[in-house]
Structure 1
Amino acid sequence: MTKTHLTSVAQYFTRELADEQYNPTLWTKRLPTEELLPKHIEFTTQNSDRYRARVGSGLSQINYGEGEFLGTMDVYRTEGISEDAPIVVYIHGGWWQWFSKEQFGFIAEPFNQQGFSVYMPGYRMATDWANDAPMESILKQMQFAVAEVLSFAAKNRVPAVYLVGHSAGGQLVSMLHKTDWSKLGVTQEGRQKLKDVFSIAGLFDIRPLVNSFVNDSIKMTKESSEEVSPLLSDFPPSQTLSHLHLIIPEFDTPEFFRQTKEYHAAVLNNQQECSIFLASKCDHLDVIENLLDSSNEVLEYMLEHMNILR
């Protein structure tokens, strides 16, 4: 499958339609549209501040990358979790231009409770890159981050590394899923540490966003959107990749559903393992808020697949 063989529905979208189809706050009845994002910010901020204060010395920070791709990762390794514990890497969303790793620290809590170390890499916002390829730069920065984790895992006999990303983070982990890690200096042992990848409410064809509110500040071109679209990027030749899980909230937008089903088919057509999981009775935002509930079905689904390989 190559880029030249894939047309985009974006060519049929007006700006008004793109803005509607790619704005998840318009598609849930949980709260009035104007209240959803403020409530989400309040929830994530309060719970992350609470957990970051609670873990104390169990929270540290490490550097990764080089040159303009330098960044930091928050490492949540609470008491009783050793350096050789399995690792969850969580990449936050926010349309590549909002939020931060600190705002989603609460995500570490349910995984720490299950004995996982949690690594949260920060990335420079798309609007802050002094070049004409901000989306590609964010991807490269995240490749440096995950390469650092995989190399650490190999050195410290960590049994498994799992990637979890939400929304924009879901797009990023889907691109990381098919990254050729040997080109970033990761040894074969390190590459084998990468196990299941979970894309929560992710997008896989970025082209429709070029003519939408998302791109007003990013200013990406059609060509740039193609370079960061999992649907359009090549799979590494002759490699069996980790199992990819596409988690879609029941109350997400029709376009998120269409893209999820389309990418699922594309991954399977390339003889790779891929599953779709419907997160019932939740929307684009509370699908991750609900992870604080130990009986949450999305959390249970991820832990089930992570525990198989521990």
Structure 2
Amino acid sequence: MTKISLNSVAQCFTRELADEQYNPTLWTPRLPTEELLPKHIEFTNQNSERYRATVSGGLSQRTFGEGEFSGTIDIYRTQGVAQDAPVVVYIHGGWWQWFSKEQFGFIAEPFNQHGFAVYMPGYRMAQDWSNDAPMESILKQMQLAVAEILNLAVENRAPAVYLVGHSAGGHLVSMLHKTDWSEFSVTQEAQQKLKDVFSIAGLFDIRPLVNSFVNDSINMSSLSAEKVSPLLSGFPSNQTLSHLHLIVPEFDTPEFFRQTKEYHAKVIDSQQECSIFLASRCDHLDVIENLLDENNDVLAYLLKHMNA
């Protein structure tokens, strides 16, 4: 495989190099490339169907937003999880164009077991938006969803709300991390509910994807990619944001590592709290599958900072 410098200008990649550097299934030794995604889909579907059937009455749904930005949030609050329990918000991945919140219901299981209510907002796939700004639209939809959850946290007297996102979801929570919530009618009390933010295998500069397989269905422009890139947007002035955690799997691609390091440096330079955690012996997909293991290092890291 082609080795690249951490200082390379990634947005100038050829199509061939971008397709290689941003396809995590090419970089893990766990399974042959052609087996990874089918196995992941099988694992997530089976375990989510199992858990959704198990929780039964502990699963409810709430709507948010209006018009094309409306959506639903699956709420997992099993027996023993109090109304005023702390909240974990999970945003799924899939290059903004695949999968659904239902497919990742299994993620709620370990957090429910540790006393957290879990909220999973769904977003419209990039290729399904009728406008020419699907990426910005997905971000706005998730901002409306989290605004709903933050205000609901006040109503329920929940002490904290934590954001967790994987892959495309990792990118989205990084943008949510720096959102000005006053623009979404979130009260000051509700804004203070937002605690740590965890981006798992996320990306922070979307420009290299414009000339890659990822964009074949999305058709985002270079300008759109710039607007939704955390690396290229500023931070609110004179405001201390929640602690941002960047979790990178050991077997992710060199570009995921480069972007994680660059964004970590930017957040620190902006006088905000940010940490990097290496998910040892994990690749881009099993880093979330392994959360079902009570002894998993990533789960332990998440729970440690959520209980701090």
Aligned pairs (5 A) from 1:35-184:
35-184=35-184
- Equivalent in the alignment of 2:295: 295
Equivalent pairs: percent with the same residue? 81
* Structure 1 residues 151 and 11: alpha-carbon distance in aligned structure 2, compared to 1, 3 A threshold: closer
Opposite residue 54 of structure 1, the aligned amino acid is T
- Equivalent in the alignment of 1:247: 247
Does the residue aligned with 1:186 lie in a helix, a strand or coil? coil
Q: Partners in 2 of 1:9 and 1:284 — Cα distance?
A: 23
CA contact (8 A) 1:8 1:207 kept: no
1:12 shift after superposition: 2.6
Does the residue aligned with 1:216 lie in a helix, a strand or coil? helix
Opposite residue 199 of structure 1, the aligned amino acid is S
1:59 shift after superposition: 0.4
CA contact (8 A) 2:63 2:71 kept: yes
- Equivalent in the alignment of 1:230: 230
Q: Partners in 2 of 1:238 and 1:69 — Cα distance?
A: 30
- Equivalent in the alignment of 1:215: 215
- Equivalent in the alignment of 2:200: 200
CA contact (8 A) 2:89 2:162 kept: yes
- String of CA shifts for 1:113-164, please: whole Å, max 9, x gaps: 0000000000000000000000000000000000000000112211000000
CA contact (8 A) 1:248 1:277 kept: yes
Q: Partners in 2 of 1:235 and 1:11 — Cα distance?
A: 22
- String of CA shifts for 1:224-275, please: whole Å, max 9, x gaps: 0001000011211211000000000000000000000000000000000000
Q: Partners in 2 of 1:81 and 1:246 — Cα distance?
A: 28
CA contact (8 A) 1:150 1:186 kept: yes
- String of CA shifts for 1:16-70, please: whole Å, max 9, x gaps: 0000000000000100000000000000000000000000000000001112100
Q: Partners in 2 of 1:98 and 1:157 — Cα distance?
A: 34
Q: Partners in 1 of 2:219 and 2:198 — Cα distance?
A: 28
Does the residue aligned with 2:89 lie in a helix, a strand or coil? strand
- Equivalent in the alignment of 2:33: 33
1:89 shift after superposition: 0.1
Q: Partners in 2 of 1:242 and 1:130 — Cα distance?
A: 34
Does the residue aligned with 1:231 lie in a helix, a strand or coil? helix
Does the residue aligned with 1:74 lie in a helix, a strand or coil? strand
1:10 shift after superposition: 3.3
Q: Partners in 1 of 2:238 and 2:185 — Cα distance?
A: 19
Moved more, 8-17 or 69-78: 8-17
1:8 shift after superposition: 8.3
CA contact (8 A) 2:12 2:208 kept: no
Q: Partners in 1 of 2:63 and 2:96 — Cα distance?
A: 20
Q: Partners in 1 of 2:74 and 2:234 — Cα distance?
A: 31
Q: Partners in 2 of 1:235 and 1:8 — Cα distance?
A: 25
CA contact (8 A) 1:9 1:208 kept: no
1:83 shift after superposition: 1.4
Aligned length: 302
Residue 19 (structure 2) pairs with residue 19 (structure 1): yes
Q: Partners in 1 of 2:241 and 2:25 — Cα distance?
A: 33
- Equivalent in the alignment of 2:272: 272
1:11 shift after superposition: 3.9
1:112 shift after superposition: 0.1
Q: Partners in 2 of 1:14 and 1:172 — Cα distance?
A: 25
Q: Partners in 1 of 2:9 and 2:46 — Cα distance?
A: 39
- Equivalent in the alignment of 2:4: none
Q: Partners in 1 of 2:282 and 2:246 — Cα distance?
A: 15
